[in-house]
Amino acid sequence: MHAVLISGGNVIDGTGSQPQPNTDVLIEGDRIVAVGKNLVVEKSSEREIRRVDATGLTVMPGLIDAHTHITLGEPRTNDELFLHRDPATAAILAAYNVRKVLRAGVTSMFDVDGIFNIGPALRDSIKAGVVEGPTMKSGSYALMTAVGGTAGKLIPDSGTAGYAEVVRNKEETVLAVRRQVKDGADCIKIHVTGLIPTRSGEIQVWTREELKVVCDTAHDLGVRVTAHCRGDKATLDSVMAGVDIIWHASFLGDASLEAIIDKKVPVGPVFTFLANLSEFGHKAGATSSAKSIFAGELENTGAKLRQAYDAGVKLLCGSESGFSMTPYGHWHAREMEVFVKHLGMTPLQAITCGTKDNAVALDEDGETGCIAAGYRADVLVLDGDPSKDISLLGDKNLFRHLFCRGKNIDLSPVEPRAMLRGEQASGWSDVALTREIAYS
Ligand SMILES: [Zn+2]
């Protein structure tokens, strides 16, 4: 069995404890087997020991991204996502893109929903060594009612489209959950609120009774349920119906906050997409009024989320990677930065959210997310101290070594690629060619 001794590093173990200087980490196979000062390792004939000198470097758990969409392929619009994807191309692209996620220091990821049920196959391919990637938990299609989700009228009245699977009644709901479980989903995702073109903001599109049908059916099969909730009552109804993880939890009110605290339901605010749009959108040609949306969400939700956190609720770090505003391999550490900057966490607290606590969300508690004996050998070694400056975790240039399931990962950038035919929507022109424009 191969062994690696990472010696003399400044170890951040993921539990929130202060960094331990001059500490060694011993890996055997896919496990961390010892952590301590001056570890003595006997060299035996059965194993070869690789030594990694981490003097002056930080040694910490590999990052965990609790909210990705690896199959979407970075669409710029919902039209592109819903109308310009086919299963074979999307699967091949997902296998290409997931390497970028790994090389950004992410050793485990939760792909919450996606297209064509590719996620479970990708997860199994990574596990089998067919594709290089982080350890993955995967959802399938997001369940919706015919009112829709975040893609307006692109959501059909029934069946699947894009990342959506529309259910029309209790029987279809039960069937869809059971089929997704049969097809390999680790969890069921519900879009509890949706964006309707004729209304501003997202409205609740499921009743509490309907949500309970999903939860009861999934839980009977030992599968968890996560819910997209941009609305106070949507969060309250989801928690009361038995949802296991809430995404966004926008505009939390007192009753929903109390329910979250009472049931200790983890919340992933997934601020990264809005934060990117707000702060950098103009650099990518985005025209959305995201600045005010992000400010509004932070103002309305930030303080409540902080209250939940202080009361022992786990706040999860997810990047929403998969869209043009959140391309793969770039923003997986951004949520931790937002937690420090806008929720007032210390860098160490944010690191715990993005490692140990995220592991709980992935149902991998005690398996990964910590530097301790017995844990899976998911280890990041970087030049710099993220317990002082959390933004360092977003800079791949500082990464010196990455071990995923004990395997040494090549950190060189994934080779660039060309666009595939039909991958992007294209138009004849940006504006209508009027006579005025033609002859001006
Ligand atoms: Zn999402």
Residues 154 and 41 in one domain: no
Residue 12 has pLDDT above 90, yes or no: yes
pLDDT tens for 79-112 read 999 999 999 999 999 999 999 999 999 999 999 9
- 112 CA distance to ligand 1 centroid (A)? 7
Q: How many angstroms separate the alpha carbon of residue 358 from the centre of ligand 1?
A: 15
pTM strictly above 0.85: yes
Are both 181 and 244 inside the same structural domain? Answer: yes
Same domain, 83 and 222: yes
- Asked whether residue 93 falls in the same domain as residue 20, the answer is no
Report CA(392)–ligand 1 centroid distance (Å). 24
Residue 357 resides in a domain:
no
| Tens-digit pLDDT profile for residues 350-406 | 999 999 999 999 999 999 999 999 999 999 999 999 999 999 999 999 999 999 999
Q: Is residue 344 part of a domain?
A: no
Last residue of a domain, one of 332, 350, 372: 332
247 Cα: distance to centroid of ligand 1 (angstroms): 8
Task: Judge whether 371 lies within some domain.
Answer: no
Confidence of residue 296 (pLDDT cuts 50, 70, 90): confident
Query: Ligand 1 center to residue 412 CA distance, Å?
Result: 28
What's the mean pLDDT in 284-296?
73
- Of the residues 271, 302, 332, which one is the last residue of a structural domain? 332
Q: Is residue 373 part of a domain?
A: no
Q: Is residue 179 part of a domain?
A: yes
CATH code, domain carrying 32: 2.30.40.10
Q: Which domain holds residue 303?
A: 63-332
Both 44 and 67 in one domain: the answer is no
Domain termination site, one of 312, 332, 352 = 332
| Ligand 1: centre distance to CA 396 (Å) | 23
Percentage of the chain exceeding pLDDT 70: 98
HEC secondary structure over the chain:
CCEEEEEEEEECCCCCCCCEEEEEEEEECCEEEEEECCCCCCCCCCCCEEEEECCCCEEEECEEEEEECCCCCCCCCHHHHHHCCCHHHHHHHHHHHHHHHHHCCEEEEEECCCCCCHHHHHHHHHHCCCCCCCEEEECCCEEECCCCCCCHHHCCCCEEECCEEECCCHHHHHHHHHHHHHCCCCEEEEECEEECCCCCCEEECCCHHHHHHHHHHHHHCCCEEEEEEECHHHHHHHHHHCCCEEEEEECCCHHHHHHHHHHCCCEECCCHHHHHHHHHHHHHCCCCCHHHHHHHHHHHHHHHHHHHHHCCCCECCCCCECECCECCCCCCCHHHHHHHHHHCCCHHHHHHHHHHHHHHHCCCCCCCCCCCCCCECCEEEECCCCCCCHHHHHCHHHEEEEEECCEECCCCCCCCCCCCCCCCCCCCCCCCCCHHHHCC
Same domain, 28 and 93: no
For the chain, what is the domain count? Answer: 2
Please check whether residues 102 and 205 belong to one and the same domain: yes
- 398-424: average pLDDT: 96
The reply to whether 416 falls in a domain is no
